[in-house]
Amino acid sequence: MNKMYEEGAYRTAGNILDLAQRMKDTDGAVLVFIHKSVDGDCVGSGCATAQILRRLGVTAFVAMPEALPFSMGFLDVDDILYYPDGTETEVYLDGKKYSAAISVDCTEGNRMGCCGALYEMFPDSITMDHHEITRLATDLKWIMPQSSSACEMVYHMGVAVAEMLKLPVEEIIDRRAARCIMAGVVTDTGRFTYSNTKPETLAVAGEVMKLGGDISEVCYNLFDRKKVPEFYLSNSACVDAKLYFGGKMAMSVVTRDMFLKYDAADDDIADVVSRLRDINGVELAVVLRETEDGKIRGNLRSKSSFDCSSFAEEFSGGGHKRAAGFTVENGNINDIAGQILDRVETLL
């Protein structure tokens, strides 16, 4: 194991093993929580963690704040997913009462959508997250901004669990968990092209491939496979995009009418922000979209000089320096676009 990960991985593995024993002793169940506006890393790390717990004999599910995107259907994790309605005070999973929480790729209930209230029932939850935060509530939280992804952290945790139990790694990280881990690693590294890709990240990917995480299958499904409506909407959003500030910023505004025109789903423009960022000379790419439930979602990507995470916080969002997002509950998409342009002009 890479030395950078050792302390956190073994400490978290010990916490996971303690939790597993407690759940078996009390006949309890665990929910693993992820952030809303789901992506490959939060879904991958959440499902891999739940699968590892299941390998330990624990009833575990992932609390999903929204539907699983089409691109992630190949992970075959429907039986791991639980969809709260936001009003529950008690939850039973396979007949066992939900009595412990774990969060991955996220530390705050207010970023978990309808799942947040359930998460906050257990403030001393185990956490694995690679986002930069300023407050840590307990020693149960492993925060590692140096990591490429939450999935890379989950991999090291799984290896540590196997070593502590003196088991082969494949007994803890099975093929399904490996595919989920690979999904998160390739998502948050942009198929190993982003600056957060380190030699140890590539080494982890190699080990995950040996465990059944087929990188070709994962990358094709997450990045290349397109539904017909997605193909047309994505292209239309790119054609309609505009460049600002001498070509340093690209922005696309995707209205609800555009989704209806192509009969497309909310996640059918997931690739647009990266395509805009890849335009020569563009430092910041922004995609705004109107969701089916009337919210405005923004996605930001930058190359080197713009802090997307800090900017997203101005709209109550967050993420990483080079990739972040936010959701506005009530607003006009064109007004928000104007606010972004006014603010960005002073920053670029």
Residue boundaries of the structural domains of the chain: 3-222, 227-345
Per-residue pLDDT of 108-142, as tens digits, reads 888 899 999 999 998 889 999 998 765 565 789 99
227-345 CATH pick, 1.20.1420.20, 3.10.310.30, 3.50.50.60, 3.40.50.300: 3.10.310.30
The CATH code of domain 3-222 reads 3.90.1640.10
Phi, psi of 29 (to 5 degrees): -130, 155
pTM above 0.85, yes or no: yes
**pLDDT tens digits, one per residue of 90-106:** 899 999 999 999 999 99
What confidence tier does 285 reach under pLDDT thresholds 50, 70, 90? very high
The structure tokens 């603010």 sit at 343
Q: What is the pLDDT of residue 2?
A: 82
Three-state DSSP at 243 gives: strand
* Mean pLDDT (whole number) for 153-162: 98
Q: Do domains 3-222 and 227-345 have the same CATH topology?
A: no
DSSP code, position 346: T
CA distances (Å), origin 42, targets 23, 72, 282, 286, 308: 23, 12, 27, 21, 18
Average pLDDT, integer, range 294-300: 93
Q: Which residues contact 99 (CB under 8 A, 6 or more apart)?
A: 23, 26, 28, 29, 30
- In this model, does residue 206 exceed pLDDT 60? yes
Mean pLDDT of the chain: 93
